Amino acid sequence: MAFAMDNFDLARASFKRALDAEPENLEFLEGYGSFLAETGAQAEAATVLRRAVQLQPEEGFEKYMYLGQLVDDSAEAEQHVRKGIAILRSYMQQQAAEPQPAEGTDEAEEAADARDHLQATLCSCLVSLAEVLLTKGQHGAEGVAPVAAECEQLLGEARELSAASPEPLQALASLRQQQGKDEEALALLRQSLALWFKPSVDSDDEEAEEEEGEEGGKAAGKKPAAAAAAAAKAEGSGSEEEEEGEEEMELEDDSDVEELPSYEFRFETAKLLLELDESVDTASQVLEQLLEENDTDPNVWLLLALCCQGGGDLEGALECAEEGMKLCKLLQLPSDNEMVTGFESMQSELQAMMEGEKKAAKAAGKADGKKR
């Protein structure tokens, strides 16, 4: 209950008390391991889940799937994911062999829902294995050649299991990218996006609104990504009435949020879009959506800064980079951290580019004056 309510400290304490009383209770071990994995304590999560594997190696596919994400060694990760898939397939076969309820009954509907859920779960697991195999291989067409055929087979089965899932298509896009087939990769990524992404107002409408001055002042002229940065800065400054209204809207929109892929999946979507798509519009919208859900991840600010820079919005890019640096300081990341150095170099580069633009504009102004 504490975990469900985001009271992580209380949840951790409750799990520890339970395991102190029953250190070999599999339900507690698997629950604590998944809790640790979800809250970022990866090393401890792997230790707990490995203990659960020792106690019950032939049941419970979830612990193997988590371990596949947690361990650093790609061969061990592959071993865990394959084991998890084998257990899940066995469970599905057992379910299929059981007597089925009569058609049209509530029991039949529940059985169908359970079957669909298991198929969607197996779909995700197969995608996870394909991703592990792609990570294990070398970059480039030659590097992925040894695993390409199996990845194709895994992702093909995943698509058959859950046609509504965007995961297999995005993983296939990653494979095509590594094979050097960027056009095909982008086409597949767009198919994946079509299953969940709803574009915001198109650029023509936004330009019309800006021309009408609906936003007023400088805010009207800001590009979407820069506006996202400004909105994040202003978060929490609204009135109590506004906050209550937002809470009501959140409750109404719960069903829509549940239909979205995971935060991590959408972050990877934005990364792929930046690498494959000449336009940064869709990537920017995906990242802005992520910031609306959680504006404390410097990785998202870094990608959004790159989007702004790619779209020619240097001011917006600098704002995003500055927000990212603030978060790095709040997280107390060391000065030699890759994220910190990345933001610092980006800020320097952007400031130099903006200064260059000012000088060029000034020189152009002088040239026009001389002509007159």
* Domains of the chain: residue spans and CATH: 1-85 (1.25.40.10), 221-231+261-371 (1.25.40.10)
Rounded CA gap, 12 and 6, in Å? 11
Residue 353, C-beta contacts closer than 8 angstroms, at least 6 positions apart: 314
Task: Please list the helix, strand and coil fractions of the chain in percent, rounded to the nearest 5, in that order.
Answer: 75, 0, 25
> How many CB atoms within 10 Å of residue 258?
7
Per-residue pLDDT of the chain (372 residues; tens, 9 = 90+): 444 445 778 888 999 899 999 999 999 999 999 999 988 889 999 999 999 999 999 999 999 999 999 999 999 999 999 999 999 999 999 999 989 888 889 888 998 999 999 999 999 999 999 999 998 866 677 788 999 999 999 999 999 999 999 999 999 999 999 999 999 999 999 999 999 999 986 545 555 555 554 444 444 334 555 565 555 555 544 544 555 555 554 444 444 445 899 999 999 999 999 999 999 999 999 999 999 999 999 999 999 999 999 999 999 999 999 999 999 999 999 999 999 999 999 999 999 999 988 888 888 777 666 666
346 and 298 in contact (C-beta within 8 Å)? Answer: no
Report the alpha-carbon distance of residue 167 to residue 196 in Å, rounded: 11
Distances (CA, A) of 235 to 280, 316, 320: 25, 17, 15
Output the CA–CA distances (angstroms, integers) from residue 259 to 68, 198, 203, 240, 253, in the order listed: 25, 12, 25, 29, 10
**What is the DSSP secondary structure assignment for residue 335, as one 8-state letter?**
T
User: Model pTM greater than 0.85?
Assistant: no
